[in-house]
Amino acid sequence: MTFLSRRGALALGAGVVAGAAGLALPRGSSAAGAPAAPHAPARLHGAPAARTATHATFTPWTVAMPVPPVLQPVQTSGGVDVYRLPLQAATTEILPGSPTAVRTFGGGFVGPTIRARTGRPVRVAFENRLDVPANVHLHGGHTPAASDGYPMDLIQPGGSRVYDYPNQQRGATLWYHDHSHHTEAENVYLGLHGFYLVDDDAETYLGLPGGAYDVPIALRDANVDETGKLVFNLFEDLDGRPAVLANGKAQPYFPVAARKYRFRLLNSSNERELKLHVESGGQTGQLVQIASDGGLLPAPVPRTEVVIGSAERTEVVVDFAKYPVGSQVLLVDAAAGPLVRFDVVRRAVDGSRVPDRLRPLPALPTPAVTRDVSMSFDLSGELPVGMMDGKPFDANRVDFTVKRGSTEIWRVTNGDGAIGANHTFHLHQTSFRVLDRGGNPLRPDDAGLKDTVQVAPGETVRLQATFNDYLGKYMFHCHFLEHSSLGMMAQLEVVA
């Protein structure tokens, strides 16, 4: 395995990154003598020393942030939207002027956006033109098991496979990504992900900003070396992936009209947490949060900062009418610095609104079962092993059997308090509500219907989920994809 040879170089503290001009460098991340950054155990920190001084340099704010194009169906008859989407190698420019080889859906670094409607099924034929096996999981999808991207169920190079998405779920920002076991971290990092937006009628009537004013933004960190290569190391740290890209570009600008925009923010980083705010001329602006992973909140929530863990989604409305034409408004991450510069370039009539009430959450049924789940590392061997409940993933073992229709409470513990490793917990097939965080208060970012949640070192988060409709095997895992690659994943089986 490739990471064996790097083992000798995995020393903590190698990550002092040269001050490359314009690159978004993390502040407060681990360096020698400093406390380990909390997103991975210390032994996963550090990186080959030879790499650390070779990040590319570039001038920020020279390219526009692209919005991934909406994929057009090849057929819409019979009430089903049918799409074709190849997995293919492509070249992109992450940094202006240097070509970067990436793995993509349909050639886009951030694949095309699939727009679905509640109740109208989508079928996608994925053809794997890559030279590695891969598959596709619809994250946040309420999906039959055969189409869920089971990690051992791969599309071989040259092969293809059809996935069916019934879209029997509320409007929400979902995303699709590779889920091939042991290689998901590398595949997603190298580009295999895109947005899948479910719209529903109830939402349409609210009058929220739509069309060109409804903008998905995928934010993820990256290590781009001086040749433009997107470098993947299974054992990486915050210093090792200093550039945080917005829709595949480092520090792009985005022209906006002086009106309200809906931004669908996805943290597609493998591990990095994002703490985001907007500011202009040093003044922090307002974000109005309207949705989380599973769609609209009951009511809009004014925020000054939103915190988004790996794979989580947060939707905010930003009203640029507050800023004079000619202003620049930065989207800033507390650690990495400015990520996107919104340039207010014109006035506009704004017919959109953010109503006081958005959408009530479904009632919480009475739970019948309580389970305990823990995420942790076994660091006793030569290589770290990721574990759920003390065991690494085994496709031949069903960890939990869940009765269809049942409501359960899961107590999810981050068992790595001693080494200070963060984890995020993700459950397939259904969404959950976060009930409490042990002795700690709920975080504002726990609101709404969730499918992924951050669990701090030593913390226990209580969730409630109902398992409806589909039978079969579904995954639950840490969504730090390096951790799931190393085994921090398990499966449940829904039975009749």
Q: Residues interacting with Cu ion, by CB under 5 A?
A: 139, 423, 428, 478, 480, 483
Write down the least CB distance from residue 201 to ligand C2O, Å. 27
The entry of Cu ion, ligand C2O, none near residue 359 (CB within 5 to 8 angstroms by kind) is: none
Write down the least CB distance from residue 447 to ligand C2O, Å. 20
Among 45, 123, 220, 426, binds ligand C2O (CB under 6 A): 426
Write down the least CB distance from residue 424 to ligand C2O, Å. 10
The residue (of 10 and 266) whose beta carbon lies closer to ligand C2O is 266
User: How many residues interact with ligand C2O (rule CB under 6 A)?
Assistant: 10
Among 179, 259, 262, 313, binds ligand C2O (CB under 6 A): 179
The residue (of 51 and 313) whose beta carbon lies closer to Cu ion is 313
The entry of Cu ion, ligand C2O, none near residue 477 (CB within 5 to 8 angstroms by kind) is: ligand C2O
The entry of Cu ion, ligand C2O, none near residue 423 (CB within 5 to 8 angstroms by kind) is: Cu ion
The residue (of 234 and 311) whose beta carbon lies closer to ligand C2O is 311
Q: Which residue is nearest to ligand C2O (CB)?
A: 139
Among 172, 477, 482, 486, binds ligand C2O (CB under 6 A): 477
| Cα separation, 107 vs 356, whole angstroms | 40
| Cα separation, 189 vs 184, whole angstroms | 8
Q: Quick check: 483 binds ligand C2O (CB under 6 A)?
A: no
The residue (of 51 and 179) whose beta carbon lies closer to ligand C2O is 179
The residue (of 423 and 433) whose beta carbon lies closer to Cu ion is 423
Write down the least CB distance from residue 137 to ligand C2O, Å. 5
Per-residue binder mask for ligand C2O (CB under 6 A), 132-151, x = binder: -----x-x------------
Token reading at 456: 């701090």
Among 116, 297, 311, 455, binds ligand C2O (CB under 6 A): 311
Residue 456 CB contacts under 8 Å (≥ 6 apart), including other chains: 38, 414, 422, 440
Per-residue binder mask for ligand C2O (CB under 6 A), 436-475, x = binder: ---------------------------------------x
The entry of Cu ion, ligand C2O, none near residue 170 (CB within 5 to 8 angstroms by kind) is: none
Number of Cβ atoms within 10 Å of the Cβ of 138: 25
Q: Quick check: 220 binds ligand C2O (CB under 6 A)?
A: no
The entry of ligand C2O, Cu ion, none near residue 179 (CB within 5 to 8 angstroms by kind) is: ligand C2O
Contacts to ligand C2O by CB under 6 A? 137, 139, 177, 179, 311, 426, 428, 475, 477, 479
